Amino acid sequence: MGKSAVKGLFYICLIAATFVLATITIMAAFSGNVAPVDSVIMPLLGLAVPVLLIVNLITALCWALARKRWALIPLVAFFCNWGYLTSVFQLNLPKDKTPAGKYLKIATYNIHNFGGEITGYSCKEIARYMQQEGVDVLCFQEFGDNSDFPTDSIRRVLSHWSHALIPSEDSVKGVLPIAVFSRYPLANHRFITYQHSSNCSMMCDVVMGTDTIRLINNHLQTTSVSQKRRKWERELATDDTRREVQAAKDAAGTLHENFMKRATQTYVISHYAKTSPYPVLLCGDFNSIPSSYTYHHLRKTLKDGFRTAGNGYMYTYRYAKRMLRIDYIFHSPSLKGIAYYSPDLDLCSDHNPVIMEVEIQ
C-alpha cells in the first residue's frame, strides 16, 4: 500500500472518528430524559458530557485549522447540548431590589465535617463570610463534629443563626448528617432517610412573619468513586486482562447502582416539593451534574436558581478540573431569583458553597 493510500485511509478514519464522537455526544444530550432503570448506558453518557464537549471543541478546532468542512460536525454535536451549556454558563442582568420587597438569602454547603479540625478555624471562617454576605439560612451537608470541637462549640460560632435543626445522634447513626441554621424560626421539621443509603434529606418551614417557605436540604447518593478509585486503579494497572475487565465492570456497576438510588431519592424529594402548601427552596449536594436524570426531573416542577439569577461559569466541585456542578438551589416559580453565586472558598471542603437570594412575591 502506497503512502497516498495510507494517507487516504488515515483521513477516512479521522472522519469516521469525528462522526462517532459527534453521535455519542448528541446521544448524551438526551441522557437526562432517560431514567437509570431504563438504561445502563445513558446515565454514563450523561456523566461524560463535560469531557465530550471539550473533545468536540478540540476536534472542531483541529478540522478548522486544516480548513476542512468536517469542523461543522463536532460543532453541531456541541450545540446539541445547549441545555447543558446554559446550565453552567449564564448571562443574567442584575436584578433590582426594592425597599418594600421581602427577601431571603440562603446558602448550601457540603462542609465535609469541617475538615475534622480541632480548632474550628473553617467553621469560624464560614460564619464570618456568611454573616458578611447577609445569609439568612445555612444548609449544611456532612455536618459533623469531633471531641475537640463538639456541636455546642459549632452552635456558639454560628449563634448569629439562632434557630437550628441538628438531628439527634440516634437518628443519624450510619447516616452522613445534615443541618439547618436560620435567623428565622423553623417549624414542621422532618428528617428523611433512604433505604440502603447513608445519605439523607431534611425538610422544614422557614417562618418569616406572615410568609412561610418550605425548605428541603438534601445530600443525595454519593458516587462512591473516591472510596473505590484506588482499588480500581490497582486492578487497571495490572497486566491481567480479566482483572482489568472486571474492574471496569465493577466501576460501571457501582456508578449505575448509585444512579438508581439517586433517582429514587429524587422522586421522594420531588413529591415533597410538589405537595408543599408553601413556595419551595430545594437545595444541597445532589452528586449529579446538569446532564443527569436527577437534574432534569427536578426542573420539571422547580426552577434552577442559576438559570434565573446567575452569571458567568458555574461549578461547585473544587477538583476534577473544576468542571462539575453538583450543588444546587432550586426554587418554586412563585419565588423570584435575585442573585445566585458560588464563592471559591478554600477551606475544609472539596465543594464550594452556593448562595442564592430570592424575593418572596
**Per-residue pLDDT tens for 145-193?**
999 999 999 999 999 999 999 987 766 678 999 999 999 999 999 999 9
pLDDT over 80 at 283, yes or no: yes
Task: Give the burial string for 315-351 (b: 16+ CB within 10 Å, else e).
Answer: bbbeeeeebbbbbbbbbbeebbbbbbbbeebebbbeb
Asked whether residue 349 carries a pLDDT value surpassing 60, the answer given is yes
pLDDT tens for each residue of 69-115 = 999 999 999 999 999 999 999 999 888 898 889 999 999 999 999 99
How many Cβ atoms from other residues are within 10 Å of residue 147's Cβ?
A: 6
Q: How confident is the model at residue 250 (pLDDT cuts 50, 70, 90)?
A: confident
Long-range contacts, stretch 23-27, CB < 8 angstroms, 24+ apart: 23/77, 24/52, 25/49, 25/52, 25/53, 25/56, 25/74, 25/77, 25/78, 25/80, 25/81, 26/76, 26/77, 26/80
Helix 49-65 and helix 3-28, axial crossing angle in degrees, nearest 10: 140
- What pLDDT, on a 0 to 100 scale, did the predictor assign at position 100? 87
Q: Please tell me the predicted confidence (pLDDT) of residue 7.
A: 86
Helix or strand (DSSP H, E) at 193: strand 186-193
Stretch 22-47: mean pLDDT: 97
pTM, two decimals, is 0.94
Please choose, from the candidates 307, 359, 317, the residue with its C-alpha nearest in 3D space to the C-alpha of residue 89: 307
- Which CATH superfamily, name and number, covers 93-224+252-360? Endonuclease/exonuclease/phosphatase (3.60.10.10)
In percent, how much of the chain has pLDDT > 90?
Answer: 83
Q: What is the model's pLDDT at position 248?
A: 72
pLDDT value for 237: 63
Choice among 52-66, 170-184, 308-322, 346-360 with the minimum mean pLDDT: 170-184
Confidence of residue 1 (pLDDT cuts 50, 70, 90): low
Mean of the per-residue pLDDT values of the chain: 93
- Contact (CB, 8 A) for 199 and 220: yes
Distances from the Cα of 153 to the Cαs of 105, 131, 144, 160, 228, in angstroms?
24, 17, 12, 13, 34
* Helix ranges (DSSP H) in the chain: 3-28, 41-47, 49-65, 72-80, 82-88, 121-132, 151-157, 225-236, 241-274, 293-298, 305-309
Q: Please report, for the chain, the start and end positions of each structural domain, with discontinuous segments joined by +.
A: 3-80, 93-224+252-360
Q: Is 66 helix (H, G, I), strand (E, B) or coil?
A: coil
Q: How confident is the model at residue 275, as a pLDDT? A: 98
Average pLDDT on 216-223 reads 95
227-244 tens-digit pLDDT: 555 665 565 566 666 766
In terms of Cα–Cα distance, which of 97, 94, 75, 93 is closest to 21?
A: 75
Contacts of 325 (CB under 8 A, 6+ apart): 87, 88, 289, 290, 306, 314, 315, 316, 317
Q: What CA–CA distance (Å, rounded) separates 352 from 292? A: 20
